[in-house]
């Protein structure tokens, strides 16, 4: 790894030392500290959208239920920086997964797709079950350990869109979507269909993360996430009992939401069991796909100690980078660019030199 200092990055594992070209993260001088970095996501103004890209293709992917839920996403083919079509490349299609309360067309998702497109990568921005445009067509629910939906998406793409997957697949995922991505890779192991993956601000221990949200200055963010998630869950076509609707209107924290609704909904006794079974932290050693994990010590959502306490040296497929700053999925650098996007491109460009171990 080039030009890295212990002041900007730590957890430089043997695997991470094999990455070239990822510069240290230097926060924008007017955006210092975890909270400002986190809030800076709201300042994003990506040009990429369904309105500006006539070549975008929206897809619907029905599941196996009767009647089926129809999940959805948006495909954006690679372009040159001037907006013209890019020449065909051997680069994989990149699946992009959002975090809690987000959707396929959230600002940070479109910004990531824009960066991918300008660097020759096709991107598929995906709505988790019930999020974004899939809300009106999904009666059932998603959670960040529901890897069956990822498997279903990938199988659908390989069968129905072979022209998109001709060069294979990779993925970038944010927050709880990143936990899902890591769980998928761990469960699939050598059979994973991904060539490489990038995790941004993953809450790899959801129990500690949920408790952390209830402390001190983090409470406003807990309430923000609670309200975003509750709005999604209470959509008009959702398959809910009257008792479940009452619970959703009563809960006062993300922890309580998961303890009283999410856990029992998916067959768990409570939040503790639900978090333990679906957090990625205890399965990281099973990942066999080269995976870049980006996290910030000042992330107000995910406790950095969780990240720093992992024995990363036990798996050379993992490339962990822990920055001093960056907040939760923020990483607004001194050039007013998103450092995690540049790091993701650098990592993806080296896929062929990062074999599975």
Q: Where are the domains of the chain?
A: 9-205+280-353, 206-278
Pick the CATH number of 9-205+280-353 from 3.40.190.80, 3.40.50.1820, 3.90.230.10, 1.20.140.10: 3.40.50.1820
Q: Which residue has the higher pLDDT, 287 or 132?
A: 287
pLDDT at 151 over 90: yes
pLDDT 10s digits, 50-97: 999 999 999 999 998 888 989 999 999 998 755 556 666 789 999 999
Q: What is the DSSP letter of 106?
A: S
Taking the alpha carbons at both ends of the chain, their separation in whole angstroms is 19
Q: What is the pLDDT of residue 98?
A: 97
Q: What is the pLDDT of residue 21?
A: 84
Distance CA 326, CA 295 (A): 8
DSSP H stretches of helix in the chain: 34-39, 107-118, 147-160, 175-188, 206-212, 219-233, 242-250, 254-257, 263-265, 271-278, 304-308, 339-348
Q: Which residues contact 53 (CB under 8 A, 6 or more apart)?
A: 76
Q: What is the pLDDT of residue 88?
A: 66
Q: What is the pLDDT of residue 6?
A: 37
Over residues 119-146, the mean pLDDT reads: 90
Q: What is the pLDDT of residue 13?
A: 53
Tell which phi-psi region holds residue 80, choosing left (phi > 0), alpha (psi between -120 and 50) or beta: beta
Over residues 194-205, the mean pLDDT reads: 97
pLDDT 10s digits, 23-49: 889 999 999 999 999 999 999 999 999
Percent of the chain with pLDDT over 70: 91
Q: Which residues contact 10 (CB under 8 A, 6 or more apart)?
A: 308, 322, 324
pLDDT at 341 over 80: yes
Band of pLDDT at residue 357, cut at 50, 70 and 90: low
Over residues 179-189, the mean pLDDT reads: 97
Q: Are 187 and 222 in contact (CB under 8 A)?
A: no
Q: What is the pLDDT of residue 5?
A: 37
Distance CA 161, CA 169 (A): 12
| Average pLDDT for the chain | 90
pLDDT 10s digits, 215-261: 888 888 899 999 989 988 998 888 899 999 999 999 999 999 999 99
Over residues 130-158, the mean pLDDT reads: 91
pLDDT 10s digits, 318-328: 999 999 999 99
């Amino acid at each position: 790894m080039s030009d890295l200092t212990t002041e900007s990055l730590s957890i430089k594992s043997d695997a991470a030392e094999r990455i070239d070209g990822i510069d240290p993260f230097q926060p924008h001088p007017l955006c210092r500290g975890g909270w400002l970095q986190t809030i800076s996501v709201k300042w994003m103004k990506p040009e990429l959208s369904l309105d500006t890209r006539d070549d975008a293709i929206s897809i619907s992917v029905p599941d196996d239920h009767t009647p089926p839920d129809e999940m959805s996403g948006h495909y954006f083919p690679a372009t040159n920086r001037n907006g013209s079509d890019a020449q065909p490349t051997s680069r994989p299609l990149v699946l992009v997964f959002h975090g809690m309360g987000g959707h396929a067309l959230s600002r940070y998702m479109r910004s990531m797709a824009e960066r991918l497109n300008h660097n020759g990568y096709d991107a598929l921005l995906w709505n988790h079950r019930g999020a974004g445009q899939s809300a009106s067509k999904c009666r059932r629910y998603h959670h960040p350990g529901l890897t069956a939906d990822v498997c279903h998406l990938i199988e659908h793409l390989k069968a129905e869109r072979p022209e998109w997957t001709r060069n294979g697949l990779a993925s970038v995922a944010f927050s709880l979507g990143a936990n899902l991505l890591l769980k998928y890779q761990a469960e699939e192991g050598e059979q994973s269909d991904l060539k490489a993956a990038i995790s941004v601000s993953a809450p790899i221990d959801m129990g500690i993360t949920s408790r952390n949200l209830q402390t001190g200055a983090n409470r406003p963010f807990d309430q923000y996430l609670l309200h975003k998630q509750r709005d999604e869950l209470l959509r008009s076509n959702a398959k809910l009992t009257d008792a479940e609707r009452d619970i959703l209107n009563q809960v006062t924290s993300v922890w309580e939401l998961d303890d009283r609704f999410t856990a029992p909904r998916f067959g768990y006794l409570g939040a503790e069991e639900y978090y333990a079974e679906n957090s990625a932290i205890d399965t990281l050693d099973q990942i066999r796909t080269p995976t870049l994990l980006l996290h910030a010590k000042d992330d107000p959502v995910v406790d950095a100690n969780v990240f720093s306490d992992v024995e990363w040296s036990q798996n050379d497929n993992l490339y962990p980078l822990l920055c001093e700053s960056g907040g939760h999925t923020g990483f607004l650098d001194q050039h007013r660019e998103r450092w995690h996007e540049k790091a993701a491109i650098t990592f993806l460009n080296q896929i062929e030199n990062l074999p599975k171990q």
